[in-house]
Amino acid sequence: MEYQENMLCYKDYCRLRKSVGWLSYSEEQVREFLKRNLYTVVAIDENCAIAMGRLIGDGMYHMIVDVVVQPEYQKRGVGTHIVNMLAGYVEDRVPVGGRASIFLAAENGKEGFYEKMGFKRIPHEYCGSGMRKGIQK
């Protein structure tokens, strides 16, 4: 297995989301936001994308999104490796004396997976609840 950086394509993005039962977005939206990622990681096994993760943000505030591992590859450390690569990208770019935050929205029941890597549930002592607003046309 290999991990490719910044090589996530439309076809793999849609197929991986479908493999875990997630809805996709319009082709126009996907093609546009794939151009705007800060960083992506795709796990490849036998020339096929089997997992992915994306990092979006502005250099101070970041969000990990679309962490997907095909069901038959789950519980093998692939997702952990991808999340660590995404977080490492941020850590490597924080200057001495600087700081940055990484946010994510865990799938229901998957919070423990991220807690093992140092993520904390919100709200906590420094942050209130996360919020979301969906827009559909």
Q: The domain 2-106 is classified under which CATH number: 1.10.3720.10, 3.30.300.30, 3.40.630.30, 3.40.50.1110?
A: 3.40.630.30
- pLDDT number for residue 129: 83
- pLDDT number for residue 85: 99
Using CA atoms, how far residue 38 sits from 34, 41, 42, 69, 88, in Å, is: 9, 11, 14, 20, 13
Quick check: bond before 71 cis, omega within 30? Answer: no
Q: Would you list the domain boundaries of the chain?
A: 2-106
pLDDT tens for the chain, 137 residues long, are: 999 999 999 999 999 999 999 998 999 999 999 999 999 999 999 999 999 999 999 999 999 999 999 999 999 999 999 999 999 999 999 999 999 999 999 999 999 999 999 999 888 787 888 877 878 78
DSSP string, the chain: -EEEES---HHHHHHHHHHTT-----HHHHHHHHTS-SEEEEEEETTEEEEEEEEEESSSEEEEEEEEE-GGGTTSSHHHHHHHHHHHHHHHHPPTT---EEEE-PPTT-HHHHHTTT---SSSSS-----------
- pLDDT number for residue 69: 98
Q: 97-123: per-residue pLDDT in tens?
A: 999 999 999 999 999 999 999 999 888
Q: What is the pTM of this model?
A: 0.92
